[in-house]
């Protein structure tokens, strides 16, 4: 699978943040009167786009679903569209744990955006083709596990309530965003291809200024990092980290 271009991701993040800010301003100015409703096949059909060949290559199907400003209460109908690859801003409010089982059946998904929902747990353990997952601004706490996501390259978990980094086995992960959680301890698994890591605005001490050898601790464990907390990794840091004898990060005090 083709790797995600770093510049494209950063540009998309900026655009998403600007759009989110605009939408939030509009929401603050206008009373919310949206009616809650189930996700029907008719509603899905009206919001499908991007025709592509199916996985077996014998036919074509719509592969992208994008829904904005809908307070969906039930996702059962989505299982009738097994060839979906892209789910973008599926809903803004109302997605709870019990609805994830419907998404779990969509094995061809490659890009999923579930940001700004009310998820407290993430229970899906197998998306074999997924490369991009956005779970920003939910209510995720401890029960978050990523076990069988062999193609996942980009994972966003900003603005949740995580106390530590999630359990994960992600052999191809390149970018991990954990900023603005409640992380006190770090217990990193083996992430051999991780290039970008953001841990700012957590409950560990200020990562650059206050924790002694913080960057060396991380770089010693994650040797492929190019950027840590928005700061580029220098060659000198990389060489020093290679010979650094780290102490367990878990024992470092939180604020």
CA dihedral 43, 47, 50, 52 (to 10 degrees): 0
DSSP letters, 135-160, are --SS---S-BEE-B-TT--EEE-TTS
- Structure token pair of residue 96: 């709870």
Distance CA(196)–CA(153), nearest Å, equals: 11
Pairing verdict, β 227-228 and 231-232: antiparallel
For residue 167, give the 3-state DSSP assignment.
strand
Cα–Cα–Cα angle for 52, 53, 56, rounded to 5 degrees:
150
CB atoms within 10 A of CB 119: 22
Per-residue pLDDT of the chain in tens (255 residues, 90 and over written 9) = 444 455 555 565 565 555 555 544 543 443 334 456 677 899 889 989 999 988 766 789 999 998 876 777 778 888 889 899 998 866 544 566 556 777 888 889 999 988 888 888 888 888 999 999 999 999 998 778 888 899 999 999 999 999 988 888 899 999 999 999 998 877 777 789 999 999 988 887 645 444 568 888 888 888 999 999 889 999 999 999 999 876 655 433 332
Pick the CATH number of 42-251 from 3.20.20.70, 3.80.10.10, 1.10.3470.10, 3.30.70.270: 3.80.10.10
């Amino acid at each position: 699978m083709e790797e995600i271009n770093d510049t494209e991701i950063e540009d998309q993040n900026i655009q998403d943040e600007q759009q989110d800010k605009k939408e939030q301003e509009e929401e603050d100015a206008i009373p919310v009167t949206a009616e809650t409703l189930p996700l029907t096949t008719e509603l899905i059909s009206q919001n499908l786009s991007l025709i592509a060949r199916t996985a077996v290559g014998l036919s074509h199907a719509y592969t992208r679903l994008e829904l904005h400003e809908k307070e969906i209460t039930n996702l059962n109908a989505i299982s009738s569209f097994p060839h979906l690859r892209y789910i973008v801003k599926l809903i803004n409010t109302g997605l709870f744990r019990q609805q994830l089982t419907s998404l779990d059946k969509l094995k061809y998904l490659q890009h999923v955006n579930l940001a700004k929902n009310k998820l407290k747990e993430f229970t899906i353990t197998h998306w074999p083709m997924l490369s991009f997952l956005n779970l920003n601004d939910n209510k995720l706490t401890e029960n978050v596990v990523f076990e069988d996501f062999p193609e996942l390259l980009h994972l966003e978990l900003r603005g949740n309530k995580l106390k530590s980094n999630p359990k994960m086995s992600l052999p191809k992960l390149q970018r991990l965003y954990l900023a603005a959680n409640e992380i006190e301890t770090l217990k990193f698994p083996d992430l051999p291809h991780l290039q970008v890591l953001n841990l700012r605005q957590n409950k560990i001490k200020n990562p650059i200024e206050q924790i002694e050898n913080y960057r060396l601790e991380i770089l010693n464990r994650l040797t492929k990092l190019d950027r840590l907390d928005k700061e580029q990794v220098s060659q000198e840091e990389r060489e020093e980290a290679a010979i650094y004898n780290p102490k367990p990060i878990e024992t470092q005090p939180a604020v």
